[in-house]
């Protein structure tokens, strides 16, 4: 399977615990994005990377959230001291942006659903 892979698919945790999600993008893609989706809403942009550099963080991303892409391949999204409001689907997407025609098309993984009790 050469698509975007996310793990775990589901995570149930107690309030105050830390959780980490992993995303493996399509191998040749240099861009990696994290989005959050709550029930009945569209995905909301959280952050994105060009190779290993984090280019932007949304104001939605509080200090409890940290994302890394250490070698420009897979990425992790960690949430510290989880709160019930963090319950959502966390979507990862990747794309290839370069000198040629850029389509901006994002390829999404199946998401990691977080439930905070």
Partner 1 sequence: AQSVTQPDIHITVSEGASLELRCNYSYGATPYLFWYVQSPGQGLQLLLKYFSGDTLVQGIKGFEAEFKRSQSSFNLRKPSVHWSDAAEYFCAVGARSNDYKLSFGAGTTVTVRA
- Interface ranges with partner 1 (CB under 8 A): 4, 6, 31, 33, 35, 40-45, 48, 55-56, 91, 93, 95, 97, 102-111, 113
Tell me the closest approach of the beta carbon of residue 46 to partner 1, in angstroms. 11
Cα distance from N-terminal residue to C-terminal residue, the chain: 33
C-beta of 80 vs 87, nearer to partner 1: 87
CB burial string 20-43: b at 16+ within 10 A, e below: ebebbbbeebebbbbbbeeeeeeb
Tell me the closest approach of the beta carbon of residue 16 to partner 1, in angstroms. 26
C-beta of 66 vs 107, nearer to partner 1: 107
* Token pair 């149930």: residue: 12
């Amino acid at each position: 399977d050469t698509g975007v892979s996310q793990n775990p698919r589901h995570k149930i945790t107690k309030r105050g615990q830390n959780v980490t999600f992993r995303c493996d993008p399509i191998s040749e893609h240099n861009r990696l994005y994290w989005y959050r989706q709550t029930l009945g809403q569209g995905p909301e942009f959280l952050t994105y990377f060009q190779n290993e550099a984090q280019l932007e963080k949304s104001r939605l991303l509080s200090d409890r959230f940290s994302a890394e892409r250490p070698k420009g391949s897979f990425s992790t999204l960690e949430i510290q001291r989880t709160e019930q409001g963090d319950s959502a689907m966390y979507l990862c997407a990747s794309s290839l942006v370069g000198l040629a025609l850029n389509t901006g098309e994002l390829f999404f993984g199946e998401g990691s659903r977080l439930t905070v009790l």
